[in-house]
């Protein structure tokens, strides 16, 4: 992507916090996600309860019917994501929330949303695995699953909130990106942000930037549901409108009927990538918790719940300038932002609640020019600032002093 062209730390600009209708509330991350979804225009939730995401379902069960929406508790997560896809195709913004085991069950039908180009949002509040694991404990070990968990070649957007405010803001962003690109978007939260309570600002709904999917403008008999506009994204009609159309999990042509031709399949799969990769300026979000113009001794790359303790640790480093770059968009991976920040740093540290996922990507971007260190933990506990400080000290002794 073109760095010169990008706007800075973007999701700040989604909302205007000055207006009268602004509400300040003390909310849990999960509650803020539900509020964000409704503010974004979501009117359909299908899900199956699982810790640590269940409060999202509970909030939706209470609030959606009050705004004319629908909450439905499905018999499992395969059905939840399927119902979300069905609902979205009627023109209703739809979402679901889950955690590890449920997210695993959703993978096959997430593929339907990707190939069928169905806008929807899936919240995965990460918990400690594998399998049932430490069911109530935090982890950040689904980063690769979110990107690669399904069979077949494909691409998708994953966002990760670090604060309760971001739970609200990024849920709005997730719906906006899903609608913009006719694609599923995953909000990859974790037990810590989801269960944390903080003051949040819910902006005046009139001030929230809302994106709605492109609808066809052609006569109904000419509508091709998979014929892309020049931006790579095909307009999507609603079931029940004057447009009659087919959506399928099988490989299909522009008309949405099965098609086996390899040339068509190759072009379609390629477009699933380019429709995102050609618009990275709209998708990639990061936050520099330091002045990006500064030269750093140590760049700390974080996402989600590692951001806070890393920021605290960065402030406590004597004789060393450390800065935190928070990845808000995890996929597509924000290569350009990391490369640019790493250029101005002597070393890079990646703390994460897994045994090494995001660090692989950071190493790929930074290459061999700069040392990249990890701090990995996979025992169901979050990081304390002191743990990160101790690792910074080790790194400093090894190559910064």
Partner 1 sequence: MPALSWREYLDEKMLPHLWCPGCGNGIALGALTRALAELQLPRNKVVVVTGIGCWGKADDYLATSALHGTHGRALAFATGVKAARPELTVIVLMGDGDGATIGGNHLIHAARRNIDLTAVVLNNQNYGMTGGQVSATTPVDAVTSTTRYGNPERDFDLCRLVDAAGANYVARGTVYHVPQLDRLIRDGITKKGFSFIEVISPCPTHFGRRNKLGSAVEMMKALKTRAVNVNSPAAKTGELPAGAFLIGKLADRDDPDFTARYAAVQQKAQAKGGFSS
Binding site for partner 1 (CB under 8 A): 25, 27, 31, 35, 43-44, 46, 62-63, 65-68, 70, 72, 74-76, 78-80, 82-92, 94, 108-109, 112, 220, 239-250, 257-258
Nearer Cβ to partner 1, position 241 or 278?
241
Nearer Cβ to partner 1, position 243 or 303?
243
Could you tell me if 138 and 99 are in contact, meaning their C-beta atoms sit under 8 angstroms apart? no
Least separation in angstroms between CB 288 and partner 1 = 32
Least separation in angstroms between CB 241 and partner 1 = 7
Nearer Cβ to partner 1, position 88 or 302?
88
Report the C-alpha gap between 358 and 157 in whole angstroms: 15
Greatest Cα pair distance, the chain, in angstroms, is: 70
Nearer Cβ to partner 1, position 225 or 382?
225
Nearer Cβ to partner 1, position 72 or 210?
72
Nearer Cβ to partner 1, position 82 or 324?
82
* Residue 326 tokens, joined: 């928070």
Least separation in angstroms between CB 183 and partner 1 = 17
In whole angstroms, what separates CA 231 from the centre of its chain?
Answer: 22
Q: Is the Cα torsion angle 46, 49, 54, 60 positive or negative in sign?
A: positive
Least separation in angstroms between CB 332 and partner 1 = 26
Least separation in angstroms between CB 99 and partner 1 = 19
At 174, is the secondary structure helix, strand, or coil? Answer: helix
Report the C-alpha gap between 151 and 27 in whole angstroms: 37
Nearer Cβ to partner 1, position 73 or 278?
73
In whole angstroms, what separates CA 313 from the centre of its chain?
Answer: 25
- Residue listed under structure tokens 């004789």: 319
Nearer Cβ to partner 1, position 169 or 361?
169
Least separation in angstroms between CB 130 and partner 1 = 24
Could you tell me if 57 and 96 are in contact, meaning their C-beta atoms sit under 8 angstroms apart? no
Spell out a b/e string for 84-102, using b for 16 or more CB atoms within 10 Å of the CB, else e. bbbbbbebbbbbbbbbbbb
Least separation in angstroms between CB 116 and partner 1 = 8
* Residue 170 tokens, joined: 């990024």
Instruction: With CA atoms as reference, report the closest residue to 358 among 183, 195, 169, 190.
Output: 190
Paired strand residues for 23 = 202
At 45, is the secondary structure helix, strand, or coil? Answer: strand
What letter would DSSP give residue 370? S
Least separation in angstroms between CB 8 and partner 1 = 31
């Amino acid at each position: 992507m073109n760095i010169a062209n990008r706007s800075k730390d973007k999701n700040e600009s989604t909302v205007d916090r000055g207006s009268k209708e602004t509400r300040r509330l003390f909310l849990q991350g999960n509650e803020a996600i539900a509020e964000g979804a409704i503010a974004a225009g979501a009117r359909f939730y299908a899900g199956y309860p699982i810790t640590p995401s269940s409060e999202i379902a509970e909030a939706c069960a209470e609030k959606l019917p009050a705004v004319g929406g629908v909450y439905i508790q499905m018999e499992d997560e395969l059905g939840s994501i399927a119902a979300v896809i069905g609902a979205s195709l009627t023109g209703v913004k739809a979402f679901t929330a889950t955690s590890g085991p449920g997210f695993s069950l959703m993978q096959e039908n997430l593929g339907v949303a990707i190939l069928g180009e169905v806008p929807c949002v899936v919240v995965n509040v990460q918990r400690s695995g594998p399998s049932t694991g430490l069911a109530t404990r935090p982890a950040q070990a689904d980063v690769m699953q979110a990107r690669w968990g399904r069979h077949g070649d494909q691409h998708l957007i994953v966002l990760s909130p670090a604060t309760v405010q971001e739970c609200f803001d990024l849920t709005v962003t997730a719906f906006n990106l899903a609608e913009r690109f006719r694609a599923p978007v995953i909000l990859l939260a974790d037990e810590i942000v989801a269960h944390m309570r903080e003051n949040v600002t819910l902006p005046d709904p009139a001030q929230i930037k809302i994106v709605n999917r492109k609808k066809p403008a052609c006569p109904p008999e000419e509508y091709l549901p998979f014929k892309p506009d020049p931006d790579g994204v095909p307009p999507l009609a609603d079931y029940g409108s004057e447009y009659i159309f087919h959506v399928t999990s099988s490989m299909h042509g522009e008309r949405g009927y099965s098609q086996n031709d390899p040339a068509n399949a190759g072009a379609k799969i390629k477009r699933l990538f380019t429709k995102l990769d050609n618009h990275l300026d709209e998708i990639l979000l990061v936050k520099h918790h330091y002045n990006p113009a500064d030269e750093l001794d140590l760049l700390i790359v974080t996402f989600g719940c590692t951001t806070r303790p890393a920021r605290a640790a960065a402030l406590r480093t004597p004789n060393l300038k450390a800065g935190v770059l928070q990845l808000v968009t995890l996929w597509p991976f924000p290569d350009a932002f990391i490369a640019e920040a790493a250029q101005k740093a002597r070393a890079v540290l990646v703390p994460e609640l897994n045994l090494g996922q995001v660090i692989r990507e950071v190493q790929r971007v930074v290459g061999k020019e700069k040392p990249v260190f990890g701090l990995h933990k996979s025992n169901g506990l979050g990081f304390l600032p002191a743990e990160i400080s101790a690792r910074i000290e080790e790194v400093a002794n090894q190559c910064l002093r």
